[in-house]
Amino acid sequence: MAKTNSSSRHARKGRPVLAACVALGSLGALVGVSTADATPRSGGHRHIQLRVRGGTVTVDTASLGVTARTADGHAMELSAPAASDLGEPGPLRRIAGGARWTYPAKKLTVTAVAQQGRLQVRIRSQRDGSLAWPVTGGDPASESLQLPRGSGLDIPVRDSWWNSAAAHLVNTEVDMGEGLTLPLWGYSSGKRGVSYLTPTDINTSLGFASEHGRLRSTATHDFDEGDGTRAYDISFALTDGGATAPAVDYRKSLSERGELGSLRQKIRANPANAKLLGAFHAYGWGEARTAVGVAKLRKLGIDRMWLGYDADASPMSSAAVSAAEQAGYLVGPYDSFANGQDPASADSPAGVWPDRVYPDFCVQQADGTPQGGFGDRGCYLSSQAFEQAEPQHHYLADRTRRAVANGADSYFLDVDATGTLFRDYSADHPMTKAQDRANRLARMKRLSGSLVLGSESAQPWANQALAFDHGSATPVDDRMWTLEHDKKTWGAYYPQTAPAFFFKPVALPADIAKAMYDPRYRVPLYETALHGSVINAERWELSFDKLPAQKTDRALLAMLYNSPLNYVLDGPSIDQYGSEMAALQKYFAPLHRAAGTEQLTSFRWLTGDRSVQRTVFGHGVLTVTANFGKTARDGLPGGCVDAKLRGDREPRRLCPAQVIR
């Protein structure tokens, strides 16, 4: 069964992107205290002044404009006035740490407090509607936008290419709960910046515009009782302007709320999780699913591997699984709890369920029709229907038990950790989007108790349940989905033992390649937030060998971010690329074993052109320097990476072009 492309299938219908789109701020760590002082100001407006780490913020209750003055006296605009009409504000009331007021015409209640060093704004609506705010990026000093597309981007706001149609960013809108990998964005200017965190990311989107050649952004939240989104929370933090500062802020926020997972704890709970450390990932086809294929990999010297296989009619046998586990590998089926098809016409065993799961468990749309499944095959199945049925019927538990009866110790559950969420209008199993997310998290936590669990493009709310994900490392450009539908260019889903869709090499169009893989714009936001909690790799239809022109940069990024490469394998590809994979894995394995459970504590550019980049993990456990340029810098040749573990006298060097075939 083909992997799902959640971002392409369920992209929200974009509103006209507001010309007022503004993105402001920056990056960095926080500094300061949390006390409140609400005072009236001139012109009849009321302004709330709150002390936060790094300075003081002021909220204009008449417009929701937000400004700041840093501790060193620098003025910043954190948000322009709301792009939605608010009407006149109601009376201002002091509360502990801040103030509360209303917008009677919009039926909104706003609470602004200084909390954990941030400005925390909570907006509650008594009716369905929308709010376009904050409006960011308007501060003239803003230099770069930080955007968690895939592993992360840092985009100079005046970059002419990103402000053009060629980049496919301006005049677009992205769902923050599905299209971004973290619910945040940021702006930076030198040593100053701002981080925006939106924990209520369901029904929140971020739109982009170019104004006078500068990138600006506006968040819009839809208040919808049926979706469970009548609340909208957003926090503002002053930062140090570092390229990963919004992710530093977000990791701190997760930790403060007790929502940051730990690979060390996951390994203690299930020691099999430790096999992920040092492992590359691969999905097997044909001979790669057999004991013979496993023996070939082990003979090449590959001592760690996660091997997955599609939920089709030819899963890995018990003998093959046993051989893989004896080699030190993890093995797991790819499965999905999200798709149901008519058993009489289903095109994949993964879509077949017992009894009347199909069609009774189909998510119902507002008009009473089923929500069509991926590729309009069957329907999407309601997580609420499963939760209600599970205590008596054990559909999910029985399915999992059958899937791992061959001895597999891992499991890849497609879609569940992405932002693909549904409202179910069924009278038998009604569900909000928020409840859908809670259901998915609950069943992933149940699975993770005994299996090494992974999922697709994992959102951070799932980080405590998952050990790994495939997809959050990929900064997908939406035009890639169109390219994938061109079977002549991309490849079709045959032959069965090595589908061209996965194995055929592809040359990305220049603009897509630049948007996704130009190292000048890449920054490790996801790894800064979640390294040491979740192991993160690229999408499986973008295996390492699928994009030949990007192999060197992708290898350097993997080593720099301490993240595994992801492959698809059959017998011929093992023969053709096995020695290359073995050389890359041999270099990666000791670095990941040492630092895979550590926090990414530093990222910086060492050259003005951003070609040389450095990461540090665990405050010095591992330091990695990658040169994406063509010329040597400080003794490091172009296209090479140096890594130094604590205690190493000399760096360990890898020049991928010397081993890539």
For 506-526, the pLDDT digits (tens) are 999 999 999 999 999 999 999
- The two structure tokens encoding residue 169: 């960013």
Helix (H, G, I), strand (E, B) or coil at 600: strand
Give all strands (DSSP E) within 54-128, no chain letters: 55-60, 65-70, 75-79, 93-95, 98-103, 108-115, 118-125
State mean pLDDT over 159-167.
98
Q: Decide if pLDDT at 16 tops 70.
A: no
CA 155 from centre of chain: 18
Question: Residue 214: how many CA atoms within 13 Å on its side-chain side?
Answer: 18
| pLDDT attached to residue 45 | 55
What is the secondary structure of 300-350 as a DSSP string? Answer: TT---EEEEE-SSS-PPPHHHHHHHHHTT-EEEEEE-SSEE--TTT-SSGG
Cis peptide before 495 (omega within 30 of 0): yes
| pLDDT attached to residue 374 | 87
Q: What are φ and ψ of residue 376, in 5° steps?
A: 60, 30
Please tell me the pTM assigned to this model: 0.94
Q: How confident is the model at residue 28 (pLDDT cuts 50, 70, 90)?
A: very low
| pLDDT attached to residue 25 | 30
State mean pLDDT over 175-185.
97
Q: Which of 9-13, 352-356, 451-455, 563-567 has the lowest mean pLDDT?
A: 9-13
| pLDDT attached to residue 2 | 42
The closest alpha carbon to 159, from 209, 241, 215, 208, belongs to 215
- Which whole-number Å values give the CA distances from 155 to 20, 28, 626, in the listed order? 19, 16, 20
State pLDDT tens for residues 607-627: 999 999 999 999 999 999 999
**Count of residues in the chain:** 661
State the pairing for strand pair 32-40/46-53.
antiparallel
| pLDDT attached to residue 42 | 33
The DSSP symbol for 181 reads S
Distance, in Å, from the CA atom of 107 to the CA atom of 584, rounded to the nearest integer, reads 58
* Ramachandran class of 255: left when φ > 0, alpha when ψ lies in -120 to 50, beta otherwise: alpha
State the pairing for strand pair 330-335/192-197.
unpaired
User: Which of the two residues, 85 and 29, has the higher pLDDT score?
Assistant: 85
